[in-house]
Amino acid sequence: MPHLQTKESGAKMFPEDYKDLLTLWKNRCEPDSREEQLEDLVTRLENVTRRLERVPGAGTETQETAVQTKTPSPVNQSPVANQTTSISPQAKMSVAGYEDIIAGPVSQYLQLSQKIGGDVLTHSKLVEKAFQVQLQFIQTAASHPAPANQSQQVALLAPTSTQIQEIQEFREKNRGSSFFNHLSAISESIPALGWVAVSPTPAPYVKEMNDAGQFYTNRVLKDWKEKDKNHVEWCKAWVQTLTELQQYVRQHHTTGLVWAKTGTPAVPAAPGAPPPPPPSMPVGDVAADLGEDRSALFAQINQGEGITRSKCLKKVTSDMQTHKNPGLRTGPAPFKAPASGQTNSVSGKPAKPIDKPPVFVRDGKKWLVEYQKGNKNLLIENPEMNNVVYVYRCEDSTLIVKGKVNSIVLDSCRKTSVVFDSLVSSIEFVNCQSVQMQVLGKVPTISIDKTDGCQMYLNSESLQVELISSKSSEMNVMVPKGNGDYTEYPVPEQFKTTISGTGLTTTAVDSLG
């Protein structure tokens, strides 16, 4: 029979009291004595409560002791030893919030990665492991106080750091992959998991890493938006993952990772034994084979003059001699590419415009300006700092952005101009012809790729800008003089490379003449 606990004091009642009270409750249902029985019941309850409160050790249980739990860690995965600790409700909410992220946007990202397959799928498995490792670390922080010294805390963070490094190394090893932009989007933003070591403002750090990855997610959208919608949803799922991670950090770890206040301090587990070395090659068999080959070789060489009588040597006849047959001197004809009406995809010239209805819409954090022709009045007002402006296949149009945004991308545009206040990261021109830009505030980076004709008007605040160009021509930078006029500086298109003792030295040249 279980004990009955009173609401006011939390004291436990014994089975015989429970039976008596049950009888009273049954009698209470009779209409003639209802009020009398209820009064008697209340009096009885008060007497029992006073009697039980005088019993030693019959105090109320604290909420913390009631929720005591022992969470076993997976074998060879948790950085700390298994210990019985008490987890506060706030810490439980922290762990549950992180589990919601894994079950929500992270799970959607993994499903879409499986649909895309290839290197994206392999990369996603590393990302999944990174989130699981961090979940274990958060569970450790929720049930243990902070380590005694900095070195132990670094050791606890080592699994997360190692996993982030593996994700970035996978990108570097697969630079020739057709999904390189996908890999780069993850690799540039996965350091967001390092928020556990950031204080006092970890949430803005997560946002900064999310913005860094959006440079490559924009490229994925540009390349795949008209080919496969799975890639578009993949980008949204990853951006949503880091967005919810930022909200989680702001809610549960506003000024830094929150450790438990009571319990045994977290201690890193002892490293396991290293894996056994790979089996060595059968040296004896290889040496025996090499010995036999060498013996046969030296036996033929030691024949002396008799080697010329060997059947292995062929006699060169007069029809084989090149000085008697000049026709033998000509080599194979040089390779000629087959004639084709298709143009090279990397020629740097934009594709012919597609007749589609113009688009000017905001989709979440992205402003989409597409297929605009002859429109000089395109205006974006009051954007947010994390917004991205994507201009695609516009011709003979002008876009004005009033307010600070994260980045602007002009893709396959012709005779198009853009005027903006300030940017957080960069403005990028890809596959464009005869485009112009003017910055009224500050821009950190200008990227020009496969573009012919790009005029850039700078402001006095933007003189520290970095220009990155490749496969482009007719690029000019207009620097203000101070009197309202500009000085024009052409961006070099020709370079001279020499070989030095330590490598290559490349310098820009004005002309080859």
Q: Which residue has the higher pLDDT, 106 or 48?
A: 106
Question: What is the percentage of the chain residues whose pLDDT exceeds 70?
Answer: 65
Same domain, yes or no: 104 and 45:
no
Same domain, yes or no: 23 and 108:
no
Same domain, yes or no: 367 and 501:
yes
Cβ distance 396 to 373 under 8 Å?
yes
Quick check: is 72 in a domain? no
Cβ distance 476 to 454 under 8 Å?
yes
Got the DSSP string for 153-204?
Answer: HHHHHHHHHHHHHHHHHHHHHTTT-TTHHHHHHHHHHGGGGGGGG--S-HHH
Given this model, what pLDDT does residue 2 score? Answer: 46
Q: Which residue has the higher pLDDT, 393 or 47?
A: 393
Same domain, yes or no: 29 and 155:
no
Same domain, yes or no: 48 and 98:
no
What are the residues facing 168 on neighbouring strands?
A: none
Quick check: is 275 in a domain? no
What CATH code is carried by the domain that includes residue 436? 2.160.20.70
Q: Determine which of 141-150, 292-301, 383-392, 413-422 has the lowest per-residue pLDDT on average.
A: 292-301
* Domains in the chain, number: 3
Question: What is the percentage of the chain residues whose pLDDT exceeds 90?
Answer: 36
Q: What is the pLDDT of residues 96-154, one digit of tens each?
A: 889 999 999 999 999 999 999 999 999 999 999 999 999 999 888 888 888 877 777 78
Given this model, what pLDDT does residue 48 score? Answer: 60
Same domain, yes or no: 103 and 243:
yes
Same domain, yes or no: 37 and 113:
no
pLDDT at 211 over 70: yes
Quick check: is 96 in a domain? yes
Q: Tell me the average pLDDT of the chain.
A: 77
Given this model, what pLDDT does residue 421 score? Answer: 93
Domain span including residue 157: 89-252
Same domain, yes or no: 49 and 104:
no
Which of 363, 398, 397, 359 is closest to 383 using CA atoms?
363
Quick check: is 307 in a domain? no
Q: Which residue has the higher pLDDT, 42 or 513?
A: 42
Quick check: is 374 in a domain? yes
Q: Give, as one character, the DSSP assignment of residue 368.
A: E
Same domain, yes or no: 36 and 105:
no
Q: Which residue has the higher pLDDT, 153 or 230?
A: 230
Q: What is the pLDDT of residues 326-362, one digit of tens each?
A: 666 555 555 455 554 444 444 445 445 457 899 999 9
Given this model, what pLDDT does residue 225 score? Answer: 83
pLDDT confidence tier of residue 69, bands split at 50, 70 and 90: very low
Quick check: is 75 in a domain? no
Rounded to an integer, the average pLDDT of 359-377 is 91
Which of 294, 266, 426, 411 is closest to 351 using CA atoms?
411
Same domain, yes or no: 368 and 476:
yes
Quick check: is 353 in a domain? no
Quick check: is 130 in a domain? yes
What CATH code is carried by the domain that includes residue 212? 1.25.40.330
Considering Cα of 202, then 206, then 209, then 211, what sign does the dihedral take? negative
Considering Cα of 186, then 187, then 192, then 194, what sign does the dihedral take? positive
pLDDT confidence tier of residue 375, bands split at 50, 70 and 90: very high
Q: What is the pLDDT of residues 451-494, one digit of tens each?
A: 999 999 999 889 999 999 988 999 999 999 877 788 999 999 88
* Residues 6+ positions from 129 with CB-CB distance below 8 Å: 163
Given this model, what pLDDT does residue 295 score? Answer: 61
Same domain, yes or no: 46 and 99:
no
Given this model, what pLDDT does residue 46 score? Answer: 67
Given this model, what pLDDT does residue 53 score? Answer: 58
Same domain, yes or no: 487 and 368:
yes
